Amino acid sequence: MSRTSLSLRLFLLSVLLLVGLGTGWGFFLDRSLENELLEREDTRLLEHAQVVRVLLESSADTDLTDTELDALTDRIAQASDTRLSIIDPQGWVRGDSELTSAQLQNLEQHQGRPEIQSAMSGQLGHASRYSNTLQGEMRYLAIPVPRSGQTWVVRSSAPTARMQGALTQQRRTLFLTGLSGLALALLLSGIASWQAGSALEQVLVRTHAQALENAVRSLAQERDRFRAVLEGLDAAVVAVNPDREIAVVNSAAQRLLRLGEESIGNPLFTALPLQEVRDLLADDDDRDDDEAEVIELELPGATVVQLQATRTPKGIVLLFQDVTRLRRLESMRRDFVGNVSHELRTPVAIIRANAETLLDTAIDDGPEPTRMLVGATLRSAKRLGNLITDLLEISRIEAGKMPVRLEALTLTRTLTAIQEPMEQLSEDRGVAIETLLVPPDLKLFADPKALQTVLSNLITNGLKYTPAPGQVLLKATAGERTVRIEVHDSGPGIPTAHQERVFERFYRIDKGRSREVGGTGLGLAIVKHMVRAMNGTLGLADSTELGGACFWIELPKA
């Protein structure tokens, strides 16, 4: 607020106060003045009436005639400019300084007048009213005069015009004095307002400056904290504004992406000409804000980074994490698992084949313990064989060495391909399989081998974990763009707490049970990888049909 407007406000406020107070005070003074003048007039009238009263009282024993009474009033009135009247106890005007005796004869009785009434009852009476007799506004004052045991009344009166004249005169003086006082007060208050305004303005300026300083300081602290966090991060952070210009670069980004401070303000794609980043940020409109997208890319110099882009209304935050070492270790682990599995495959196959041969032929007639030992060797060799197969499969998938080739498949054909082993297992386990395809000739896009693996893993699980006599239901329905395949079973189901994790490698709810049924803990991990590789989705729910588990996958419709 400027100094002028502050002073003006103060001044207007004081004007308002002064005018308000002045008017109130003037009104009060005016009333006091009027009362004072009236009192003075009444005192004067009383004095004159009292003279008449004294005379009347002193002649109490004499019976004065009307002419004498009238003469008395005339005489005393001459000495003053007051009209004097003498009223007898019956209310007849017996003497009046303004009227002749003859005129008095025609005068009406006066006891109806308020001042006369008061005096008749022994009190001082006064009134102001218009007099018909004298044709003017009059002030009347009446006093009682006890005379020969009766109450006479002496009334003195005077026109109010004189008093009004004095009042008007006084009022004018009062008004002029008030006006000049007000003008002076306004002038003084104007000066005072101006000075107070500037003093107040200085205080305000100081307060504002202080507040501004505090705000700037806390902003600076905020910025320093933000910087410290940003610089403390291992990950490279690049923030861009909605125009795709670089706004923030931390030192990790300067090192990893070779972006200098000077890149701030430059277009992102000029400073960082990476096609992957361009692609990631290209399809803006389809994405929601706050949704983080993650991709992996290789920077020049064989550095592998994971890039996470988070969109906000004010721009995009790009977070680059160097995962080169991690990926190298993963690749080493994969190679190791792959190589070991591969190396183990042949010896295990030989052990299995030998055990089978032994069991079938050589020890047919042998002792029971030997048969048991060979039987156990065969079971272990089978389990080991399964584990090796699964391990090889998963390391092939993870290494990307299992490219999927999507083609239009008829689901019944795929099922026929895995029918025999499934039926065999169904018989062994005492769990029936039922198939329901709607419509029967469903077609979908998938890799034939991968789909067989996925379905046989899911059906095998249903058969393995459902106690006999049980049931497994394979159900497939066509949606608008996808085909949904569900594998229900009447087994124990999967507790909600485990549902999220069963697709992880080696995750088993009951290790003993899994081992007992020849499980490896890798089946569902393989299913997950393969379904995703075929652009599908998958999930798990409680089966409403059979009460056990319900695994579902969705693949593109052909």
Residue among 519, 530, 531, 543 that touches ligand ADP (CB under 6 A):
519
From 524, 538, 546, 555, residue interacting with ligand ADP (rule: CB under 6 A): 524
Least distance (Å) between residue 472 CB and ligand ADP:
8
Of the candidates 549, 553, 554, 555, which one interacts with ligand ADP according to CB under 6 A? 549
Closest contact distance (angstroms) between CB of 263 and ligand ADP is 48
Any contact of residue 510 with ligand ADP (CB under 6 A)? Answer: yes
Choose between 521 and 536: whose C-beta lies nearer to ligand ADP: 521
Q: Which of 69, 394, 502, 530 binds ligand ADP (CB under 6 A)?
A: 502
Question: Residue 164 in 3-state DSSP?
Answer: helix
The label of the residue with tokens 């004072």 reads: 36
CB hemisphere CA count around 350 (13 angstroms): 4
Q: Which two tokens stand for residue 372?
A: 């048991």
Nearer to ligand ADP, 320 or 465 (CB): 465
Nearer to ligand ADP, 125 or 548 (CB): 548
* CA-to-CA separations, 444 to 418, 440, 456, in angstroms, rounded: 17, 12, 17
Tokens matching residue 403: 């490219």
Q: How far is the CB of 248 from ligand ADP (least distance, A)?
A: 44
Nearby residues of 439 by Cβ (< 8 Å), 6 or more positions away: 478
State how far the Cα of 93 lies from the Cα of 69, in Å rounded to an integer.
10
Between residues 342 and 511, which has the closer beta carbon with respect to ligand ADP?
511
Q: Pick the closer one to ligand ADP by CB: 256 or 549.
A: 549
CB-wise, 239 or 487, nearer to ligand ADP? 487
With 0-12 CB in 10 A as exposed, 13-18 as middle and 19+ as buried, what is 397? buried
Considering the complex, what minimum distance in angstroms separates the CB of residue 548 from ligand ADP? 6
Task: Return the residue of 41, 393, 447, 489 that touches ligand ADP, per CB under 6 A.
Answer: 489
Of 209-248, which residues contact ligand ADP (CB under 6 A)? none
SS3 for 361-425 is: HHCCCCCHHHHHHHHHHHHHHHHHHHHHHHHHHHHHHHCCCCCCCCEEEEHHHHHHHHHHHHHHH
In the complex, minimum distance from the CB of residue 494 to ligand ADP, in angstroms, rounded to a whole number: 5
65 by DSSP, 3-state: which?
A: coil
Does 471 help bind ligand ADP (rule: CB under 6 A)? no
Binding residue for ligand ADP, selected from 185, 478, 509, 558, defined by CB under 6 A: 509
> For residues 73 and 461, which CB has a smaller minimum distance to ligand ADP in the complex?
461
Give the nearer residue to ligand ADP in terms of CB position, either 142 or 538.
538
User: 94, 352, 429, 508: which one contacts ligand ADP (CB under 6 A)?
Assistant: 508
Segment 329 to 388, residues that bind ligand ADP, using CB under 6 A: none
494 is a contact residue toward ligand ADP (CB under 6 A): yes
SS3 118: helix
Write out 126-160 in H/E/C secondary structure: EEEEEECCCCEEEEEEEEEEEECCEEEEEEEEEEH
Nearest distance from C-beta of residue 488 to ligand ADP, angstroms: 9
Query: x/- site string to ligand ADP, residues 405 to 444, per CB under 6 A?
Result: ----------------------------------------
What residue spans of 241-323 are helical by DSSP H?
251-257, 268-271, 275-282
- Assess 470 for contact with ligand ADP (CB under 6 A): no
Interatomic CA distance for residues 393 and 399, integer angstroms: 10
Instruction: Using CA atoms of 514, 520, 524, 526 in order, give the dihedral in degrees to the nearest 10.
Output: -170
Pick one of 514, 538, 546, 554: the residue that binds ligand ADP (CB under 6 A).
514
Q: What is the DSSP secondary structure assignment for residue 360, as one 8-state letter?
A: I
SS3 104: helix
Output Rg (C-alpha) for the chain, integer angstroms.
60
Nearer to ligand ADP, 70 or 489 (CB): 489
Q: Whose Cβ is closer to ligand ADP: residue 93's or residue 474's?
A: 474
Question: In angstroms, rounded to a whole number, what is the distance separating the alpha carbons of residues 318 and 309?
Answer: 5
* Chain contacts with ligand ADP (rule: CB under 6 A): 461-462, 465, 489, 491-492, 494, 502, 507-510, 514, 519-525, 548-549
